[in-house]
């Protein structure tokens, strides 16, 4: 069967793409690769697994009750397949439970508002009513401090009020160019003025919003209103609260800007908030690790991974339910068709990726034996789409092996994959970076976008956004790569490319290992 494989090389670098010795020892019609294809497509468990992980277990905020429940479910599920698995505690994190949240505008007219508590925000202990105010123009920090003395018992809106809820792409597609440019100029000027006012108040720049939230909490406001709009229709981003003293809310653009216009125009809106939330103290933070021991080289490892934690205003379907489901289903398939792997197969479902890759970084620290014997690690963490990108992650001599393995994967899957050689090492963003920083060969399986911005850290990242045929394609690819990496005669080379800063021409350092935060608080 003819193979179509795109290999992208960095300009100015000479990289050999010749296949290593023994490249043809696995034929295209290899029976295990055929069996992977059949099992993954004809006996797929993805829909059932997704329903159980997302709909039944729910959101998986780090160390929340649902997060722990999801790890327990994963261990039980692996066990039902005859795969050894366990929860490994790597630290603790501040536990938090979300309850009901109801936000209403009472005056100048009645409206139930579209919003929710930010993660790790306190609740209200019953309904709280108060006026909404916005930050006035101030001359300096002293005048802002005087204003702080007037806000006790009030709700305060602290985010820039976007002047339009239509995404830029819609403006560009529909408006005459002068109209579009006028909107952009006026919005940029308004944002600059808003930020300059915060700067005069003493709360501009990096970390300013967190310090502002703490100042408002000290002033005993009723609540803090924010908006995090990704320039897309009808969605909002959700992150962690900056204070644990007063409720912090994130609202839709439409409702936030309505309230802001009313307050700024002198028609003070009156609000009522009832929100239930509970801090649970330090709770265990887990990774789930599943293992099929190797039959010939048990001290060498092939790892498939995703992060099990999520934000909690949705069920985290595409970030990173799909990556976790991919790793689980790929291991199930391999257990069926390749039960005695040459090297040890491992699946890692990491905790606290969203707070800084903590679970995966802890795993690298805690398992020097796996680090020493790691053949290859494969990570998927950008949504539901078909895998279309791979990189050798800056490992100079790994590319030919990746190219060989891809050439043996069924063309229906491999034809979509662009392989970049030698690539550059990731210093963050997802869990493969924890391995790369320690010089370990880890590779990101980059998916086609499928409008990933709509689901990334938003309230609509739910089961219905999964495109299961695309994920089934990815199961074939991941399971095939893991099988081929297990069977490879050679040990994957770890030679690191020379990194040159394109702006200065100076040599850049390889990313440094990060120290995991093993005793975390809110969104740290």
CATH 3.50.30 domain position(s) in the chain: 109-268
Of 368, 366, 328, 357, the residue nearest 345 (C-alpha): 328
Q: Does the structure show a pLDDT above 70 at 6?
A: no
Q: What is the mean pLDDT of residues 483-495?
A: 97
**120-179, pLDDT tens digit by residue?**
999 999 999 999 999 999 999 999 999 999 999 999 999 999 999 999 999 999 999 999
**313-347, pLDDT tens digit by residue?**
999 999 999 999 999 999 999 999 999 999 999 99
Domain 109-268 of CATH type 3.50.30: yes
What are the b/e assignments for 380-416, b being 16+ CB within 10 Å? Answer: bbbbbbbbebbbbbbbbbbbbbbbbbbbbbbeebbeb
**361-400, pLDDT tens digit by residue?**
999 999 999 999 999 999 999 999 999 999 999 999 999 9
CATH 3.40.630.10 domain position(s) in the chain: 6-11+40-95+282-493
Q: What is the mean pLDDT of residues 404-419?
A: 96
Q: What is the mean pLDDT of residues 217-245?
A: 96
pTM for the model stands at: 0.93
**282-323, pLDDT tens digit by residue?**
999 999 999 999 999 999 999 999 999 999 999 999 999 999
Residue 237 per-residue DSSP state? B
Q: Which CATH number is 6-11+40-95+282-493's, of 1.10.220.110, 2.30.40.10, 3.30.413.10, 3.40.630.10?
A: 3.40.630.10
CA distance 222 to 224: 7
Going by pLDDT thresholds of 50, 70 and 90, the confidence category of residue 502 is confident
The answer to whether the beta carbons of residues 263 and 269 sit under 8 Å apart is yes
Q: Dihedral sign, CA of 332, 336, 338, 340?
A: positive
Residues 6 or more apart from 189 whose CB is under 8 A from it?
Answer: none
CA distance 459 to 512: 34
Backbone angles phi and psi of 136, in degrees to 5: -75, 170
CA distance 137 to 49: 53
Per the DSSP assignment, residues forming a β-bridge with 107 are 270
């Amino acid at each position: 069967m003819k193979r179509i494989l795109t290999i992208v090389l960095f300009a100015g670098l000479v990289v050999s793409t010749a296949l290593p010795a023994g490249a043809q020892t696995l034929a295209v019609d290899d029976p295990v690769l055929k069996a992977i294809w059949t099992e993954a497509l004809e006996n797929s468990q993805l829909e059932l697994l997704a329903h159980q992980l997302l709909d039944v277990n729910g959101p998986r905020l780090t160390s929340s009750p649902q997060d722990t429940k999801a790890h327990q479910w994963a261990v039980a599920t692996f066990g039902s397949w005859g795969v050894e698995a366990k929860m490994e505690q790597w630290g603790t994190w501040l536990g938090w439970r979300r309850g009901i949240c109801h936000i209403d505008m009472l005056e100048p007219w009645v409206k139930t508002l579209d919003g929710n508590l930010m993660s790790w925000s306190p609740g209200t202990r019953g309904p709280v009513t108060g006026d909404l105010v916005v930050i006035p123009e101030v001359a300096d920090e002293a005048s802002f401090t005087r204003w702080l003395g007037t806000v006790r018992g009030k709700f305060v809106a602290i985010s820039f009020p976007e002047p339009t809820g239509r995404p830029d792409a819609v403006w560009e597609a529909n408006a005459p160019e002068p109209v579009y440019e006028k909107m952009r100029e006026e919005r940029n000027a308004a944002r600059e003025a808003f930020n300059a006012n915060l700067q005069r108040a003493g709360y501009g720049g990096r970390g300013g919003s967190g310090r502002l939230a703490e100042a408002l909490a000290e002033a005993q406001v009723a609540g803090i209103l924010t908006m995090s709009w990704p320039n897309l229709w009808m969605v909002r981003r959700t992150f962690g609260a900056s204070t644990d003293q007063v409720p912090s809310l994130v609202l839709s653009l439409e409702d936030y800007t309505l309230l802001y216009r009313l307050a700024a125009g002198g028609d003070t809106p009156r609000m009522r908030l009832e929100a239930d939330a509970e801090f649970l103290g330090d709770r265990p933070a887990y990774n789930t690790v599943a293992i099929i021991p190797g039959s010939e080289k048990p001290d060498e490892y092939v790892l498939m991974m995703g992060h099990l934690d999520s934000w909690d205003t949705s069920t985290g379907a595409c970030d990173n339910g799909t990556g976790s489901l991919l790793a689980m289903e790929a291991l199930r398939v391999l257990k069926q068709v390749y039960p005695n792997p040459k090297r040890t197969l491992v699946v890692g479902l990491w905790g606290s990726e969203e707070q800084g890759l903590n679970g995966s970084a802890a795993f690298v620290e805690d398992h020097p034996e796996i680090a020493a014997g790691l053949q290859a690690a494969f990570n998927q963490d950008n949504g539901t789409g078909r895998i279309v990108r791979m990189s050798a992650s800056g490992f100079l001599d790994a590319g030919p092996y990746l190219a060989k393995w891809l050439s043996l994967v069924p063309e229906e899957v491999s034809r979509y994959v662009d392989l970049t050689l030698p690539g550059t090492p990731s210093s963050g963003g997802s869990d493969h970076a924890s391995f790369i920083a320690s010089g370990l060969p880890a590779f990101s399986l980059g998916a086609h976008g499928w409008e990933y911005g709509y689901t990334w850290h938003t309230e609509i990242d739910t089961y219905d956004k999964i495109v299961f045929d695309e994920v089934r394609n990815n199961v074939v690819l991941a399971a095939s790569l893991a099988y081929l990496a297990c069977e490879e005669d050679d040990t994957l080379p770890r030679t690191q490319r020379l990194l040159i800063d394109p702006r200065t021409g100076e040599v850049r350092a390889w990313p440094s290992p990060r120290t995991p935060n093993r005793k975390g608080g809110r969104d740290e």
